[in-house]
Structure 1
Amino acid sequence: MKKLWIPIMLLFVLLVSACGSQAADHRGNSGGTGQNTDAASENKGAPDGNNKTGTITYQSENGPIEVPANPQRVIVLSSYAGNVMALNVNLVGVDSWSKMNPRFADQLKDVEEVSDESLEKIIELDPDLIIGLSNINNVNKLQEIAPTVTFTYGKVDYLTQHLEIGKLLNKEKEAQAWIDDFKQRAQQAGEDIKAKIGSDATVSVIENFDKQIYVFGDNWGRGTEILYQEMKLAMPEKVKEMALKDGYYALSLEVLPEYAGDYLIVSKNPDTDNSFMETDTYNKMPAVRNKHVFEANAKEFYFNDPVTLDYQLEFFIDHFLNK
């Protein structure tokens, strides 16, 4: 099995993951961090807890770090742009995977594309906070430019990850409010969908990337967190066996029918050769014959941030219930 790294997923280890040298950029999921307890979160220079001036101390997975209480110029080097946007915090630089996401296009049109290697450009952008995955390069140099906080993918679940971003940005209440609302909406949608398709109906999520077909578990973006964790829809046994541990599994076209559920979500990249969908093997699968295939633009589906999750939830409600 080839190793996949994303925009999570590039995800989305999402935002994104890919094979070989590209694996570090194809991940749709991102997650993991330390905890920011009330006792450890100090608001320095502010007369009360509601005044977002000065700095706070965030308890990152690498130890306490002093960050702006009200950051104004944030750079995200991997995966978390949607989390920052959802909390209405200004971005001045983001990774290439976020920049190519059609869902983010309007909000990021004036935001610079940067990487962990473009140090001069980052200096010019004058950030007051830098965020990224724990495997980014040049962390020591980035820390000299601005407070830099990294998260390890998978250290915490995807919703706790958003809460941690909220703590880091001094917007914990806003993050928790979105989480509570999202869980309620997703779980209700799950009940409605199971009532329509049957509680035993299985669902698979696949993607073709770099001439390789992947099937996904329950925590690798592409809507998997919603389908399996919140909606509790059934996963084919073969997918459970091979994809749950790592989050994804690479397979050949010949065995794809063994992993295909009654319903098939295809995260389809328009820039990739998707000719496998024209083969007899693919078209003879029950999900295809029964028109139970829902195609999504992979570039919009990689991540598991609030902006993407809200879109994915709308996508599933529309396709399962309204079509």
Structure 2
Amino acid sequence: MKKLFMISLLFFVLILAACGDKETNKEQGKEETKSDTITYQSETGPIEVPADPQRIITLTNGPNALALEANVVGIDDWTKMNPLFEERLDGVEVVTEENLEKIIELDPDLIIAGSHMNNIEKLNEIAPTVVFTWGKLDYLEQQLEIGKLLNKEKEAKEWIEDFKSRAESIGEAIRAKIGEDATVSVIESGNKEFYVFGNNYARGTEIMYQAMGLNMPEKVKDTALESGIYVISTELLPEYAGDYVILSKNPDVDNSFLETDLWKNIPAVKNGQVYEINTKASTYSDPITLEHLLDFFESSFLNK
């Protein structure tokens, strides 16, 4: 009980300190004019947020915000570790919803969080906090909502329409080359298991199955389409491999299976129709990741 009291007291003192700093700035002639706000219709109801947020903490959906050139000052560790975002995140701090003291120090004017996270009410005391539930929106709807939140709906819509058009066109070219009935599997290597993906679990699945209209094998459709992901053992790889395989290769696990006869005798492998992507750079479905993978699929399937 005493420990809980001390934590609450520390939190209160930090809030007062932050307010005190702002008051000092006023006295020194540094008072900031109150920025305009907009009302964002969040999944939990309307919330007033800055019309032009300057210090955003993204505990989730960081890549979506980065794609709109948002001013991010704090981000989750998974996004920070992603090689696709390395240059964009130079100097950006890693934060979690548990580290309230660090979040206060970063002085955010907007926080984006997951609905499953802890301390949402306390985060709201620091800055307007908008939550999203993973999987509630599809990959394009999610980007549109981030655009609305950041007052950049026009930019988000323009990207969505352009991306859909380009992906559909590239998909038509790919199907014309590999055949309308050809199947494509997305398989990821694990420590002692493999993961097969449906049409909405990143790794480029949204692009290939939704935007391009490529086919997944019936075995994959039966097991992974509804759940999004399905775990298989090494022995089952041949059953789930399509005519083409997108191999999400995790560099941090044992990939010695690549040297086994089981793998080498899979038709897609024998025919040179396996294309490797880096797991670490393909676990999101934001515009930056999607553009990267769209280029990769175009060059891989069409030899461009």
User: 1:1-323 residue pairs with structure 2 within 5 A?
Assistant: 53-78=35-60, 80-322=61-303
The CA deviation string for residues 224-281 of structure 1, in whole angstroms up to 9 with x for no partner, is 0000000000110011000011100001111111111011001111111112222221
- Percent identity of paired positions between Structure 1 and Structure 2: 63
Per the alignment, residue 35 of structure 1 pairs with none
Tell me how large the CA RMSD over aligned residues is: 1.3
Q: Which amino acid aligns with 1:54?
A: D
Larger-gyration structure (1/2): 2
Query: What's the secondary structure of 1:199's corresponding residue?
Result: coil
Query: What's the secondary structure of 2:248's corresponding residue?
Result: strand
Q: 1:210: Cα distance to partner? A: 4.1
Per the alignment, residue 19 of structure 2 pairs with none
Q: Is the 8 A contact 2:192 2:233 kept in 1?
A: no
Q: Which amino acid aligns with 1:56?
A: I
Q: 1:285: Cα distance to partner? A: 0.6
The CA deviation string for residues 259-311 of structure 1, in whole angstroms up to 9 with x for no partner, is 11011001111111112222221111101111111111111111000000000
Runs (4+) of structure 1 moved beyond 6 Å?
none
Q: Which amino acid aligns with 1:278?
A: E
Query: What's the secondary structure of 1:170's corresponding residue?
Result: coil
Q: Which amino acid aligns with 2:171?
A: G
Q: Which amino acid aligns with 2:255?
A: N
Q: Which amino acid aligns with 1:97?
A: W
Structure 1, unpaired ranges of 5+: 1-51
Q: Is the 8 A contact 2:80 2:86 kept in 1?
A: yes
Q: Is the 8 A contact 2:62 2:79 kept in 1?
A: yes
Q: Which amino acid aligns with 2:37?
A: T
CA distance in 2, matches of 1:278, 1:94: 38
Please report the TM-score for the alignment, with normalisation by the length of structure 1.
Answer: 0.82
Q: 1:169: Cα distance to partner? A: 0.6
CA distance in 1, matches of 2:227, 2:276: 24
Q: Which amino acid aligns with 1:55?
A: T
Count matched residues.
271
Query: What's the secondary structure of 2:86's corresponding residue?
Result: helix
CA distance in 2, matches of 1:272, 1:126: 38
Q: Is the 8 A contact 2:59 2:97 kept in 1?
A: yes
Q: Which amino acid aligns with 2:227?
A: D
Please report the TM-score for the alignment, with normalisation by the length of structure 2.
Answer: 0.87
Q: Which amino acid aligns with 2:44?
A: N
Structure 2, unpaired ranges of 5+: 1-33
Q: 1:209: Cα distance to partner? A: 2.9
CA distance in 1, matches of 2:253, 2:58: 26
CA distance in 2, matches of 1:147, 1:90: 15
**Which protein has the bigger helix share?**
2
CA spacing shift, 1:288–1:115, aligned 2, 3 Å: same
